[in-house]
Structures are given as C-alpha cells and as structure tokens.
C-alpha cells in the first residue's frame, strides 16, 4: 500500500516537471505547414462577380448574394462553411485571386447557422 502511494507521488512529481503536451490555445498556436488550407478570405474590391467559384465548388458551399457597394449592387460569394472541404478549387479558378484559403483554423462556431458567412465578413 505504502509502495503504491509512493509510486503515485513519484509519478505526480515527474509529471509536474514535464513539458505540457497541449498548447495554451488561443495565446499559443500550432504552426501550420505552408500548404495548409484554412478559412477563406475575400477581397470584395477585386471580386468581379463572375461566379466561377460558386460554379466549381463541389459541395455547393458558395452562393452568390447581393451586396451594396459604392458602385451599386454586386453579386459576391457568401459561404456556407459547414460544407467546405478545403479543396482549394475556388481559389484556383478565381481569375482575380481575390478569394483565397488562409492559414486560419480558428473559426469554430457553436451554432451551425453561424457558418453562413456574408461577403462583407469575408473581406479583409
């Protein structure tokens, strides 16, 4: 019995000096590889409303919706991120390279309705 208690104490002490196996997220972040595909980002100033991204998306993640700009109403991509599989087809087909996959993996939501992201909120 005493041996078991001593053994537990030794293991607990050893654990206290061990490097943590998890990161203190979000203060510390995992480094991602160069080809990591994360959250999409849109530059609404260079989007030409061609819809190529919406047409090529295999999961129908992208829906073209109206947004108000200084030059009037324009169609821009709205994302339904719960359907995105990060294939990169939309980025590849975009003629102005205004829609890109970023390295951001921090976009969890508690309600799946919040995965519908307006073009204005993808900008920047």
Footprint on this chain of ligand SF4 (rule: CB under 6 A): 42, 47-53, 57, 59, 61-62, 77, 84-90, 93-96, 98-99
3-state class (DSSP) for residue 41: strand
Q: Which two tokens stand for residue 89?
A: 């087809």
- Looking at beta carbons only, is 67 or 84 nearer to ligand SF4? 84
- Looking at beta carbons only, is 27 or 68 nearer to ligand SF4? 68
- CB of 26 vs ligand SF4, minimal distance in Å: 24
Q: What are phi and psi of 82, to 5 degrees?
A: -65, -15
- CB of 37 vs ligand SF4, minimal distance in Å: 7
Q: Which two tokens stand for residue 51?
A: 């819809």
- CB of 75 vs ligand SF4, minimal distance in Å: 7
- CB of 83 vs ligand SF4, minimal distance in Å: 7
Whole-angstrom Cα distance, residue 62 to residue 57? 7
Bond prior to 26 in cis (omega within 30° of 0):
yes
Q: Which two tokens stand for residue 44?
A: 């609404």
């Amino acid at each position: 019995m005493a041996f078991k208690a001593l053994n537990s104490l030794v293991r607990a002490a050893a654990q206290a000096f061990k490097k943590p196996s998890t990161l203190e997220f979000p203060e510390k972040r995992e480094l991602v590889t160069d080809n990591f595909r994360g959250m999409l980002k849109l530059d609404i100033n260079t989007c030409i409303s061609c819809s190529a991204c919406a047409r090529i998306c295999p999961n129908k993640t992208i829906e073209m919706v109206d947004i108000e700009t200084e030059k009037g109403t324009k169609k821009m991509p709205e994302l339904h991120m719960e359907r995105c599989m990060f294939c990169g087809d939309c980025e590849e087909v975009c003629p102005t390279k205004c829609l890109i996959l970023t390295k951001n993996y921090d976009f969890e939501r508690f309600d799946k309705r919040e995965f519908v992201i307006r073009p204005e909120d993808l900008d920047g």
